[in-house]
Amino acid sequence: MDIDKKEITQILMSFFQEEMAWEIMQCNPELSEDIKLATIKEIFDKYCSPKKRVIGNLETRSWGYDGVYNYNPANEKITSITIDGVSAMVETIHTEPFDEHFRFVMKKTKQGWRIDSKKAFSSWKQKWENAII
């Protein structure tokens, strides 16, 4: 595996881990909404490209529940990484509660590889559709 693919894998799996930790925070009623929002903003600043998100935003995020989180490194399998210059396409399978196929587009920035967008494969429509990161 070349150095870019290793970095992309590490960044994506770290993002999944931090997102899952944030999802777990959502179940804690003792934490203020300000703390929860500040935490997800830190995660996005660290792992995502800086741009306005057309699909989804930090204030209207969804999350999973105990044992079935939207992001869980134990349930995420990277199936392919294709790099084209400063862009990369990473396909994954999220295996719980059922198999879901995702495509993450990543951009190489001065800070390294960052998640730019996410798509989900619709088996009903047989095409990739925009999804909330």
Per-residue tens of pLDDT for the chain, all 133 residues: 588 999 999 999 999 999 999 888 888 889 888 898 899 899 999 999 988 776 665 555 666 666 666 778 888 999 999 999 999 999 999 887 778 899 999 999 999 999 999 999 998 999 999 888 8
pTM attached to this predicted model: 0.88
What is the reported pLDDT for 56? 60
Helical H segments across the chain, by residue range: 3-26, 33-47
What is the reported pLDDT for 63? 64
Question: Cα–chain-centroid distance for residue 5?
Answer: 16
Alpha-carbon distance of 87 to 105, in angstroms, equals 7
Residue among 72, 73, 105, 112 at smallest CA distance from 89: 105
The total domain count for the chain is 1
What is the reported pLDDT for 119? 94
19 CB contacts (<8 Å, ≥6 apart)? 43, 69, 70, 71
What is the reported pLDDT for 9? 96
CATH number of residue 98's parent domain: 3.10.450
Containing structural domain, residue 78 = 3-131
Residue among 103, 119, 93, 112 at smallest CA distance from 10: 112
**45-71: string of b/e by CB count within 10 Å (b at 16+)?**
eebbbeeeeeeeeeeebebbeeeebbb
